[in-house]
Structure formats: C-alpha cells, structure tokens
C-alpha cells in the first residue's frame, strides 16, 4: 500500500548551521562562514535540537564538541545536505546556459521536411544540448509526458499555447499516382470524389478527418470514402504512390513525389491554404535556456531565409 509522505515544514532549518559548527567546532567561525551573527547560528542550532529532541553539541566555555547523538546526526546529515547542494547546482546549471535534454513531440511527416535541417544546425551550435525527437501523431500533454515543446500544423494547436512559426502557410493538395488515373477521369469538383477511392486519415482522437476545400473563398468539408485508412501522412503518401487512390496531404509532404512524377495533383483550384507548421509550448513558466536557444535558432534561420511570415 502506498504511504503518504510529506516533509515537515522547517525540517531542514538549522541543518546548514549545525554542519558549519560541526566542521569548525566553533559557533563564531560557522557564523563568519555563513555571513550571519553568532547568535543567529546558536538560535538555529538550538531550534534544530528542539525539533530533534536531543542535544547535538557539548558546549563549554573553551570548546564545542558533538554528542553521540550529534555524531549520528552528522554522519547522516552531511552527505544528504551535500547531495541537496549538488542537486541545486545541477538544476541551476540548466538555468544558466543552454544544456541538457530538449524533448520534442513531432509528427513523422514533419521531421525530414522542417526539423532535420533545423536540428542539425542547432546541435552544431549548442553541443551541450541533446535533442530528442519523438515522432507521434498524438496531441500529447507536453508537461505530463515530459516534453519541452511540440510541433504541429497550426490548426491543431490549442489557442492557449505559445507558438513559433517553422514554415510558411501551405496548401493541402489532393494527389494520386498516374496509374490510378489511367482508366478513370480525374475529379474536377469536390462533389465528384464520391466516385473515387479516397485514402483517409484517422486523427489522434479516433475520428476520420473530412477533406477540406476552398470553394471561392468558402471553406467546405467533404466526407469521403475509400479502401484505406492511415494515421499519418507518410502512410497515405505511400498508399497513393502504390495506386490505391486519392489522398489529401500537405503540399510539402507530397512535393518530392510530384516532382518525380510519382504523384500528380488534382482539384488544384479548390486546394485550401493551411496556417503552416509551428513549434508550440505552454509558456506559463520561465522558458528554460535550452528551449529559448532553440526558439531563437529557429527565428534566426527564418530571418536568414528572408522570411516575412509572422512568428
């Protein structure tokens, strides 16, 4: 059975003063080291003895020594206190400069297109930061799952998150292989998709995403049907290249396959524009230097490319 455990308020008060007196065998020298008065050190030690319930020092007019209880307390308290100091120093180092592990949750399709060039140059610029990319389509709780930030398309990011642009806005293209259209006419209107095999995307919440189009400035959703369902865009691209049907995917994900004539675009006049890809983080507390450095690195790269997109 799990037991409740709490540290009593003030339980560590006086420990540093006690260790100083034990080290120097002097209340005055301990006070000088701590930068306080001898009286303050004496009061702190007496309060500690009162909480422990036993005298820790033998005091005479000429010397200060540890009692048997003081020796036992010192043997356990000194290494524990030194470990606490080391833990504080280790945590403080992470606040002083970019270092440590930077964990990012990222959709698989974004890694080669957006993140690989950014991460490579960042790791060269900040060798004391290790970057961990966890490829997942799920919209995870960043704090609960130990992530510093996430990367997603803008329309899927909660409005209370702080965002940093990683890409310009881009279209959602409907694509298919030339082989798929060898024996059928390409759709010219979204309504004609009912006559086609459509490769569908299952969202992380379990729902099947409708296809979205721009009809003369009016957004319309079309519920499509087809023989294949995937949970990420690379999977849908692979199925489209194999000739299984039409897929609606971000234009940057399909660009290489279109350039190599493995896929072709259809319904181009109806392709909607998406906000693009963003880095996002809660931003409710102080941003650690490792994440701040990554954000500034991303912004510097975008300025270097001459981007005018808002961040």
Domain ranges of the chain: 15-96, 100-168+277-304, 170-274
Rounded CA separation 248/239 (Å): 12
Instruction: Please tell me which residue, 6 or 299, carries the higher pLDDT value.
Output: 299
CATH topology of domain 100-168+277-304: D-Maltodextrin-Binding Protein; domain 2 (3.40.190)
Residue 34 and residue 41 in contact, taking contact as beta carbons nearer than 8 Å: yes
The β-bridge relationship of strands 228-230 and 198-201 is parallel
Mean pLDDT, the chain, integer = 87
- pLDDT at residue 89 is higher than 80: no
* Architecture of the structural domain at 15-96: Orthogonal Bundle (1.10)
pLDDT for position 61: 77
Strands of 137-230, DSSP E = 149-153, 162-165, 170-176, 198-201, 211-215, 218-222, 228-230
Residue 226 and residue 198 in contact, taking contact as beta carbons nearer than 8 Å: yes
Confidence of residue 13 (pLDDT cuts 50, 70, 90): confident
pLDDT for position 86: 73
pLDDT for position 308: 43
pLDDT for position 176: 97
Whole-model pTM: value is 0.66
Q: What CATH class does 170-274 carry?
A: alpha beta
* C-beta atoms surrounding 167 within 10 Å: 21
Rounded CA separation 32/25 (Å): 13
For residue 281, the cross-strand partners are: 162
pLDDT for position 135: 87
pLDDT more than 90, % of the chain = 54
Same fold, 15-96 and 100-168+277-304: no
Instruction: Please tell me which residue, 2 or 97, carries the higher pLDDT value.
Output: 97
**DSSP H or E segment with residue 130:** strand 129-135
- pLDDT at residue 5 is higher than 80: no
CA torsion through residues 75, 80, 86, 92, sign: negative
pLDDT in tens, 161-219: 999 999 899 999 999 999 999 989 999 999 999 999 999 999 878 889 999 999 988 99
- pLDDT at residue 87 is higher than 80: no
pLDDT in tens, 255-298: 999 999 999 999 999 999 999 999 999 876 667 889 999 999 99
Can you tell me the mean pLDDT for 14-37?
A: 90
- pLDDT at residue 309 is higher than 50: no
């Amino acid at each position: 059975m799990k037991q409740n455990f709490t540290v009593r308020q003030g339980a560590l008060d006086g420990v540093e003063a006690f260790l100083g007196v034990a080290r120097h065998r002097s209340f005055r020298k301990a006070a000088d080291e701590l930068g306080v008065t001898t009286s303050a050190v004496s009061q702190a030690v007496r309060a500690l003895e009162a909480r422990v319930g036993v005298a820790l020092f033998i005091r005479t007019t000429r010397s200060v020594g540890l009692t048997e209880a003081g020796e036992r307390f010192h043997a356990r308290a000194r290494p524990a206190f030194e470990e606490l100091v080391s833990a504080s120093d280790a945590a403080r180092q992470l606040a002083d400069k970019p270092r440590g592990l930077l964990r990012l949750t990222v959709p698989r399709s974004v890694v080669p297109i957006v993140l690989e060039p950014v991460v490579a140059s960042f790791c060269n610029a900040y060798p004391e930061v290790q970057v961990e990319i966890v490829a997942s389509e799920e919209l995870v709780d960043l704090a609960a799952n130990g992530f510093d930030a996430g990367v997603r398309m803008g329309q899927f990011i909660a409005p209370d998150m702080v965002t940093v642009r990683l890409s310009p806005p881009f279209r959602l293209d409907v694509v298919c292989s030339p082989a798929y259209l060898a024996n059928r006419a390409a759709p010219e209107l979204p309504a004609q998709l009912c006559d086609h095999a459509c490769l569908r995307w299952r969202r992380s919440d379990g729902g099947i995403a409708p296809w979205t189009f721009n009809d003369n400035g009016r957004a319309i959703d079309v519920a499509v049907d087809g023989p294949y369902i995937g949970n990420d865009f690379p999977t849908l691209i692979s199925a489209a290249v194999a000739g299984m049907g039409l897929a609606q995917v971000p234009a940057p994900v399909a660009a290489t396959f279109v350039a190599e004539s493995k896929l072709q675009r259809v319904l181009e006049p109806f392709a909607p524009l998406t906000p693009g890809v963003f880095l996002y983080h809660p931003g409710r507390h102080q941003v650690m230097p490792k994440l701040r450095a990554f954000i500034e690195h991303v912004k510097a790269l975008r300025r270097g490319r001459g981007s005018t997109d808002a961040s």
